[in-house]
Structure 1
Amino acid sequence: MLTRSSRTGLVLALATAVPTGAWAQAPADTPPANPIIVTGRGLDTTPAAPAYDQVVIDRARLLSAASGRIEDVLGNVAGFQQFRRSDSRSSNPSAQGATLRALGGNATSRALVLLDGVPMADPFFGYIPFSAISPDRLGRVRVTRGGGWGAFGAGAVAGTIELESAGLEQLQTAEGQALVNDRAETEASASFAPRLGDGFAVLSGRWDRGQGFWTTPKSQRVAASARAKYDAWSGGIRFVAPLAPDVELQARGMAYDDRRTLRFAGADSTSSGHDASIRVVGRGRWAFDVLGYVQARDFSNVVISSTSFRKTLDQRRTPSTGIGGKLEVRPPLGTAHVARLGADIRVADGGLQEEACSAATGLVTARRRAGGRNADLGLYAEDDWTIGRLILTAGMRADRWTIRDGYFVERSAAGALTSNSNFPDRSGWETSLRAGGVYDVGVGFRLRGAAYTGLRLPTLNELYRPFVVFPVTTQPNAALRNERLRGFEAGIDFSPGETAHVSLTAFDNRLKNAVANVTIGPNLRQRRNIDAIRARGIEVDADARWGKVVLSGSLAWTDSNVESSGAAIGLDGLRPAQTPRLAYTTTLAWESGEGARLAATVRHTGNQFEDDLETDLLPAVTTLDAFARLPVGQGASVILRAENLTNERIVTRKQGASIDLGTPRTVWAGVRISLP
């Protein structure tokens, strides 16, 4: 396993590995033979992309989230969910897995989240560091529900969320904003995007901090209760430069640190990371996309007893490293075909260092170390074939996966060895297929359908790390099998003009060997494979514009059930934990055309259960958010935001009588400055 210093050094080496010659300008009297245009994006989507259920979020919506956070933006796509209803200010970072289509969750992402083509999931846990991804750095987001595929497709069993950084055409040379809310919490961000020769650079940073709100209801507070305090910063640097008229180099580096306190004083968690990537994109006759990345991440967490209010677990370090890359080429096969041939690799290496403590005394009773290494090498091929108004697509992916070097060691406080396990290495090949088609009927109608299979390896966290949400302990399981998805969908799109669009999709997905937190005793759960999670439902997305008024909405209704036998027979027919049946969101906005924007968003999340046995119900909730941007001068605007304007009671966790609450009514005010 790489040491912390070597991991950080590798990140910095990759972040600075940009040839200085890329920034050289041609002499003024020697115009280039061909115009050089850099975009900072990857290759365009293929013609058959509309065969799948996709939603695109534009920059206007990215910049007008009431909370200013990317998970709030993604919440506008019905069916998107994290493990809990909390955002990245008031939840444990390890609970921030992203999923779609009501396939359930155990805090690990079942959706693949990419930032400029790079997987963002934590190498050890599989959660997404949402606090490090600022919406104002992005140009657009594309969400594809259903089994993912292509580069890094192993892991996209619920879908793919592609985050695309903003380019020069979307950024001002200098931008910044600062806001404060009614609890005196602050948010500040800034970016600088200068041109460098024929390329450009973007430097950006963000800092959020605050005392937080009370997640514990007033009737349940004790002397040890604490607000959900948070203090998080992130910074990034991105370079884009041409290497040839149709080839460009993209390099990105990011660092972040996030500190939170949850429920009790001393129940502190931290997450931090250093990421870097280099990408070369060619858009010539033989288009190609070559990418390499490295991630150095860490996590810590302190668990406080809800009875003695002493430390019971100190997960003081969980260092991990993610290394990967891809190569994709698109050979020229004529105007009727767009083919993709590619290979990708991901390696995740990490381990935990924790001390268990006595709830009565707070003294250390055991010291544990655990971890391992997962790897996946994928090969894929796909072709889109255009036949008049009909576009067909088909492809295959083969994954060589390995789970190895797993271990668990426990010693007493005095250092005596009490447990020492080395788990057997495992490996194998898995194949995934997908096919689909889209037919343009005419008069604005388009029919589409697709079928697919998919794969997800259990994370190092699921395999080797226990965790506690006091008083419930969840054990790992080094014998977990891979999850396998089979699904199909059919849909219809209607666009009566350029200002309106409606999309309706019906789907049936089955996730075999789904990993779930299964109750095996009082206050005791274990990660186990259940037979399957079956999710069938309907998704509707719509948007329309009337002059300066924009209306958009998204709805997901899903019948999701557990299929289980054997030791987990009691779960058969139940709804997966943390999975609502109904979710919808509607946004009404007014845009002046001169920079002003007013928007209101209604979001509803239906009933869902805290646990696998459906004993603790999290009631349905409907919230109202608002946003206003009002220009007040050249390049200056006043920003007003309101979260949960009606102050609805949002239950995010329930275990018996003990509950946690989500964001109460919160009002923000500030300014945004843009300099061309």
Structure 2
Amino acid sequence: MTPLAVAWPPVAMAQNTAVQPITVIGRGLPDSPATPAYDTTEIGRDTIVTSASGRIEDVLGSVAGFTQFRRSDSRSSNPSAQGVTLRALGGNASSRALVLLDGAPVANPFFGYIPFSALSPERLARVRVTRGGGAGAFGSGAVSGTIELESGGPDTLGPLQANLLVSQRGETQTSLTVAPRLGQGFAVASVAWDRGKGFWTTPADQRVPASVRAGYESWSGAIRAVAPLDDLTEVQASVLIYDDQRTLRFAGADSSSSGQQASLRLVGRADWAFDVLGYVQAQDFSNVVISSSSFRKVLDQVKTPASGFGGKIELRPPVGGSHVLRVGADLRIAEGELYEEPFNARTGLRTAVRRAGGRNSDAGFYIEDDWTIGSVVLTAGARADRWRMADGFYREIDAAGALTTDARFVNRSGWEANFRGGAIWRASEVVALRAAAYTGFRQPTLNELYRPFVVFPVTTQANADLKNERLEGYEVGLELTPSTGISFSITAFDNRLKDAIANVTLTPVLRERQNVDAVHARGLELGSSVQLGAVSFDGGLSWTDSEVEASGASVALDGNRPAQVPKLMASGTLAWAPRPGWRVAATLRHVGAQFEDDQETDVLPAATTFDGFLQVPLTTGVKLVLRGENLFDERIVTRNQSGSIDLGTPRTLWAGVRAGFR
């Protein structure tokens, strides 16, 4: 992992196609020269595939400032809680960071959560995390930053790779990927399957006969094909399908998340370079809530079908060697509805049927220019977004079939204008200084607008009148590269998210999604990357002073830290690769104390974990893999509802083999 992203070198253009082969890349257009002007971290292939858990959220957890709404990973959390954010701008379960897979958004169109279990690290070549508001393609969702996942091809994956691991609890992790070259192009086909009875999330002293382990079973399949149309143009087609089943806390408390996603991308690298992409998503979610007193079903979220589609077109005109100009437009449409049935906790009888949903859309137009003047690169960009919230409704009928609620919400629309700009000055081969300022916005999700939910005994109401969140921020940074393979970075930032959407407590058992005046986050982010022969170290640290600014009905929250936001997060990985195929790594990670709720009444204590990884070649193409999660068996509290506690991953040991052939 490197704290400063370096632009990918442009492809050498074939001057004589009769004697030079067509080069197929499988990526988008090269990074622009000013990419490092923003606080950017890049994670390479070796780090991606050698985490202790083998899960992408664990890989991202090493990035300073990355958080999910809860500390649980995608084996032991409710899928709808898997929102991601950066820079302590959290406070609810929606994602405030834009997550892209090969240029296409992957968040659930209804909830905004990220389907982490579908994003197998084995398929990826690199990850780039950019903190701060985004004004480029799909930038309307990037109020805290952008996470770009890039799939690998034959050069990074090899023609065949397979993994099989088993934990001490009998859980299994398997994957198989083939990546053949097909003429002048290539294809990648991959499947992954994880399953297990899971661990106890309920502490021993709180278990009852209905308590169960956090069992899970998830699988995903992906196909990607890349082919040249001519020597400077290529087409990229991708399909991803997945299904994820989990059980949390009580028998019968089952959740499921499934989906399909496809994208088609056309990339041209001639003088008039272009990147055209279209995508479509179809996802579903279900969830059963069990009473913690009667242990009967009290809510069955039967289904939440949602669809998303959109695309982008970006053009880079030839405006001279010192400028890189990007002009583009993008479109995102999300629609969906929930169907759920509440039940009486004592009788087990259905009491009502509810439906709710709507449609959000955003059409954006952006322009950005990078101007290189000697050792200085300047960048400036702007976006104009036409947003719309439409067709919102909430309908409920009682057990007798009588209509009790039929609410139709007023359609709303408007324009948002946002800007960003920055500079990086490479003062010498050792020192680089950078600065950036930006604005941004995020629409409320369909979930926030229309769907109430229960984490027993607390009910959180939706709010169809929510306003867009709007970001204002700036930062300054220093990059040091004292020698080859050694780099350090430090960034100071000040971000203010106006009209931030929070789950505001109204009574001990009732909350509502409301816009508070702002969430104001200031802090420092440190990164380091050291490569000295066979030894490497990658580290990151984030310290933030984040507080809610509130007045009116939510004035009681003024000055509080947002829910689920720690002040301090730090991670460091020391690795040793004495020979090809060998790797020994240890990761120390610390997450500071945070509050469960906006009232700062329930605390999630700080937790420090230690992970290990060992890979040893056995024979040609086959390696032994040993992994250890939370080796010191730290107690990780992931939920604390007035003393009712859930726990995170205990000590987990994995052993297996990895086969790969080139």
- Check whether the contact 2:17–2:231 (CA below 8 A) recurs between aligned residues: no
Determine the structure 2 residue equivalent to 1:131. 117
SS in 2 for 1:288: strand
Determine the structure 2 residue equivalent to 1:366. 352
2:564 to 578, 587, 610: 578
Determine the structure 1 residue equivalent to 2:595. 609
Q: CA deviation at 1:594?
A: 1.1
Q: CA deviation at 1:414?
A: 1.6
Q: CA deviation at 1:501?
A: 0.4
Determine the structure 2 residue equivalent to 1:64. 50
Q: CA deviation at 1:32?
A: 3.6
Determine the structure 2 residue equivalent to 1:327. 313
Q: Indicate yes or no: 2:334 matched with 1:348.
A: yes
Give deviations 1:562-588, integer Å, cap 9, x for gaps: 000000000000000000000000000
SS in 1 for 2:155: coil
Give deviations 1:218-275, integer Å, cap 9, x for gaps: 0000000010000000000000000110111000001000000000000000000010
Determine the structure 1 residue equivalent to 2:95. 109
Output the amino acid matched with 2:654. Answer: W
CA distance in 1, matches of 2:295, 2:364: 47
CA distance in 2, matches of 1:231, 1:59: 26
Q: Indicate yes or no: 2:61 matched with 1:75.
A: yes
| TM-score, normalization by structure 1 | 0.95
CA distance in 1, matches of 2:126, 2:35: 16
CA distance in 2, matches of 1:451, 1:472: 39
CA distance in 1, matches of 2:640, 2:32: 45
Q: Indicate yes or no: 2:405 matched with 1:405.
A: no
Structure 1 runs of 4+ aligned residues shifted over 2 Å read 30-35
1:263-412 matched pairs, under 5 angstroms: 263-412=249-398
SS in 2 for 1:122: coil
CA distance in 1, matches of 2:484, 2:221: 38
1:639 to 606, 625, 650: 625
SS in 2 for 1:364: coil
Output the amino acid matched with 1:228. Answer: A
SS in 2 for 1:143: strand
CA distance in 1, matches of 2:63, 2:508: 37
CA distance in 2, matches of 1:278, 1:657: 49
Q: Indicate yes or no: 2:222 matched with 1:240.
A: no
Determine the structure 2 residue equivalent to 1:11. none
Q: CA deviation at 1:522?
A: 2.0
Q: Indicate yes or no: 2:77 matched with 1:91.
A: yes
Output the amino acid matched with 2:358. Answer: G
Q: CA deviation at 1:675?
A: 2.1
Q: CA deviation at 1:559?
A: 0.2
Determine the structure 1 residue equivalent to 2:441. 455
- Check whether the contact 1:97–1:105 (CA below 8 A) recurs between aligned residues: no
CA distance in 2, matches of 1:35, 1:340: 28
Output the amino acid matched with 1:566. Answer: G
CA distance in 2, matches of 1:673, 1:105: 42
CA distance in 2, matches of 1:72, 1:443: 33
Q: Indicate yes or no: 2:653 matched with 1:670.
A: no
CA distance in 2, matches of 1:526, 1:632: 57
CA distance in 2, matches of 1:193, 1:72: 25
1:442 to 411, 428, 431: 428
Q: Indicate yes or no: 2:502 matched with 1:516.
A: yes
Q: CA deviation at 1:33?
A: 5.7
Give deviations 1:504-532, integer Å, cap 9, x for gaps: 00000000000000001121101000000
Structure 1, gaps ≥5 residues long:
1-29
Determine the structure 1 residue equivalent to 2:459. 473
- Check whether the contact 2:134–2:420 (CA below 8 A) recurs between aligned residues: no
Q: CA deviation at 1:34?
A: 4.5
Q: CA deviation at 1:593?
A: 3.7
Q: Indicate yes or no: 2:37 matched with 1:48.
A: no
- Check whether the contact 1:502–1:542 (CA below 8 A) recurs between aligned residues: yes
CA distance in 2, matches of 1:148, 1:222: 48
Q: CA deviation at 1:552?
A: 1.1
Structure 2, gaps ≥5 residues long:
1-15
- How many residues align? The count is 647
SS in 2 for 1:352: strand
SS in 1 for 2:117: helix
CA distance in 1, matches of 2:387, 2:614: 49
Determine the structure 2 residue equivalent to 1:433. 419
- Check whether the contact 1:99–1:105 (CA below 8 A) recurs between aligned residues: no
Give deviations 1:579-624, integer Å, cap 9, x for gaps: 0000000000001241110000000000000000000000000000
SS in 2 for 1:107: coil
Determine the structure 2 residue equivalent to 1:629. 615
- Check whether the contact 2:200–2:214 (CA below 8 A) recurs between aligned residues: yes
CA distance in 2, matches of 1:70, 1:274: 19
Give deviations 1:383-420, integer Å, cap 9, x for gaps: 00111111111111000000000000000012100000
Q: Indicate yes or no: 2:515 matched with 1:529.
A: yes
SS in 2 for 1:154: helix
Determine the structure 1 residue equivalent to 2:8. none
Output the amino acid matched with 1:634. Answer: T
2:152 to 154, 162, 166: 166
Q: CA deviation at 1:284?
A: 1.0
1:540-579 matched pairs, under 5 angstroms: 540-579=526-565
Determine the structure 1 residue equivalent to 2:180. 194
Output the amino acid matched with 1:449. Answer: A
